[in-house]
Amino acid sequence: MELCNFLKPQYFWDVDFSDNPEHVSRRLIIERVFIFGNLKEIKMLIDHYGRSVVVDELCKLNHLDPKTLNFASKMFNKPKKIFKCYIRKQLTPQLWNS
């Protein structure tokens, strides 16, 4: 299945797919589908890129919301500490609330 056939334009409001959808970064595609997509779209993404590529790209992302991070960690049976976004969050000092 062609990658651009299952990508919803709502996920890529800031990207122009009209010329060549293959010029879009796979990291961006993986990030947006994991954040906004459903299980069927995630499975198609894994089938297209391969499990190891998807895991590798997810681990390199600077930011994932906690829900998506937890989902990816459980789905691929990987500890959160291998995700760059988790490490960055741990290194960022949290200001205490008043």
Q: Does residue 36 lie in a domain region?
A: yes
Residues 82-95: tens digit of each pLDDT? 898 888 776 666 66
Question: Using CA atoms, how far apart are residues 86 and 80, in angstroms rounded to an integer?
Answer: 6
pTM of the model: 0.79
Tokens found for residue 35: 């954040």
Residues 9-37: tens digit of each pLDDT? 788 888 776 666 566 788 989 999 999 99
Total number of domains constituting the chain? 1
Domain of 62?
Answer: 24-91
Q: Does residue 11 lie in a domain region?
A: no
The residue among 67, 72, 95 whose CA lies nearest residue 83 is 72
Name the amino acid, one letter, at 61. L
